[in-house]
Amino acid sequence: MSEKIMDLFDDYENGKVDRRQFLKKLSMLAGSTAAGMAWITLLGREDAFAMTPLQDRELIQEFITYPGKTGDVRAYMAMPKVDKKLPAVIVIHENRGLQPHIQDVTRRMAREGVLSLAPDALSPLGGTPENDEDAARTKMRELDSEETTKNFVAAVKYLKTHPKSTGKVGCTGFCWGGGMTNQVAVRAPDLDAAVPYYGRQPDPEDVPKIKAPIMAHYAGNDERINSGIKAFEEGLKKAGIEYQIFIYEGASHAFNNDSNPGRYHKEAAELAWERTIGFFKEKLKT
């Protein structure tokens, strides 16, 4: 048991798991959260637990605001500590607001050499409630769809002119954020690449407005979302839009969310991420 816990500490210190994953796994190994915290003291690893993981110490991380349709939009930003301009990627959250999981995805994107920005759709309503996903989900239903879309389109403009940006901007999102990624692609003709994960497809009449190349990821076990794939693909083909569509058999909706054990599908998530990063590196290069 102690050997497994020591290995977990090593993984945390070397950035292989984030703090949330570390605490979850530690509690499982020890039997409870309280027992896990006792192991931290027993092993004399308080300093290790308090530190920022190695990979994240190499990032600049901050909450910023940028001008949107409804006023200032709060967003989480992460980027490598490098003295050069970077391609930029917008990361759009699920229907629970800007949760720690999406902040972790934003850092993962930044570690790939990207200026990564995760806007909070709930900014006009006071921001995402902390530690209350149910309240966040309820507040998401109160958003004005048109204004919310314009807030995310404004993020493209913000990143196009950011002093650390090369001017190349991509967008990715998950679940609700996948659908919003498609809307950003429709509304932002200067977007350079879009990667929606299991997101609602745009209306067929809007598909020809897309200028960015598309890479769409879908779960095999996701009948409701997948019902729109055929019309979406037909529209992309007819409009001559570059696209790739991947369906991960055996995976369910939200398969990328490693904070949700009931949904997470490790093989599908890792393959989709590998494809996503390769796509962005190709389409956002200068």
Give the pLDDT mean for 238-256.
98
Q: Residue 86's pLDDT is what?
A: 98
Dihedral in degrees, nearest 10, Cα atoms 139, 160, 195, 130: -30
Residue of 94, 285, 83, 64 whose CA lies nearest to 158: 64
DSSP 65-100: EEEETTEEEEEEEEEES-SS-EEEEEEE--TT-S-H
Span of 14-28, 127-141, 148-162, 173-187 with lowest mean pLDDT: 14-28
| CATH number of this structure's domain 58-283 | 3.40.50.1820
CA dist 197 and 251 (Å) reads 12
In one letter, which amino acid is 95?
A: N
Backbone angles phi, psi at 215, to 5 degrees: -125, 115
Q: Residue 197's pLDDT is what?
A: 98
CA dist 240 and 207 (Å) reads 10
Backbone angles phi, psi at 15, to 5 degrees: 80, 10
Residue of 2, 42, 49 whose CA lies nearest to 22: 49
- What is the percent of the chain with per-residue pLDDT over 90, rounded to a whole number? 76
pLDDT above 60: residue 205: yes
Q: Residue 282's pLDDT is what?
A: 98
Span of 22-26, 173-177, 226-230 with lowest mean pLDDT: 22-26
- What is the percent of the chain with per-residue pLDDT over 70, rounded to a whole number? 88
pLDDT above 60: residue 105: yes
> Alpha-carbon Rg of the chain, whole angstroms?
19
Describe the chain by its helix, strand, coil percentages, rounded to 5: 45, 25, 30
51 pLDDT band, cuts 50/70/90, is: very low
pLDDT above 60: residue 198: yes
Cα-to-chain-centroid distance, residue 79? 14
pLDDT digits (tens, 9 = 90+) for 219-243: 999 999 999 999 999 999 999 999 9
pLDDT above 90: residue 123: yes
Contact 138, 112 (CB under 8 A): no
Give the pLDDT mean for 26-34.
74
Give the Cβ contact number of residue 2 at 10 Å. Answer: 10
Contacts (Cβ under 8 Å, ≥6 apart) of 108 = 273
Domain ranges, ordered by start, for the chain: 2-54, 58-283
Contact 195, 210 (CB under 8 A): no
CA dist 282 and 279 (Å) reads 5
Contact 179, 262 (CB under 8 A): no
